[in-house]
Structure 1
Amino acid sequence: MYDLTGFQRDLLYVIAGEEEPHGLAIKEELEQYYEKEIHHGRLYPNLDTLVDKGLVEKGRRDRRTNFYTLTRRGQRELEARREWEGQYVEL
């Protein structure tokens, strides 16, 4: 997790918070959070990086639509990150 960008970590959080979100749903969530447009050229290469790292799995809903889910490793990494953050930030 330490080698991910902040944007990639945010992608993991969005994917974890939705049930099999497709790329455009992820994009819309992040655009709301960042309050600016997220370009496809930024979104999809970062999703592919998370897939390549074994943190996210990409499935196919139909010929045009992919969906994303956390792998077990991705879930463990996200939980470890939250635990680490909890040492420093108490809400």
Structure 2
Amino acid sequence: MYDLTGFQRDLLLVVAGLEEPHGLAIKEKMEDYYEKEVHHGRLYPNLDTLVEKGLIEKGERDKRTNYYTLTARGDREITDRQEWEGAYLSE
């Protein structure tokens, strides 16, 4: 996960926290957190990067709507990151 941008890490956490979210649901959660609009041109390329890295999978709900799910690797990466952060936050 060390090679992800902060935005990509946040996307990964949002996908992990929702059940098969579609792009607009992810976008809304990110906008709530960032307190500003997240443009499609930023959102979808970064989701695609997470798919390419094997951290999330993209499925098709219908011809217009995709959904995203966390992969086992994505879950391991989040767990590893939390442990790494915890080592510094507990000192």
TM-score (norm 2): 0.97
SS in 2 for 1:87: helix
* Residue 8 of structure 1: aligned partner: 8
Gapped runs of 5+ residues in structure 2?
none
Give me the identity figure in percent. Answer: 77
Deviations 1:39-71 (A, max 9, x none): 000000000000000001000000000000011
**How much is the aligned-residue C-alpha RMSD, in angstroms?**
0.6
Alpha-carbon distance in 2 for matches of 1:89, 1:31? 27
Alignment map for 1:1-91 (pairs within 5 Å): 1-90=1-90
Deviations 1:1-55 (A, max 9, x none): 0000000000010000000000000000000000000000000000000000000
Alpha-carbon distance in 1 for matches of 2:82, 2:21? 21
SS in 1 for 2:57: strand
1:13 aligned partner, one-letter code: L
SS in 2 for 1:68: strand
TM-score (norm 1): 0.97
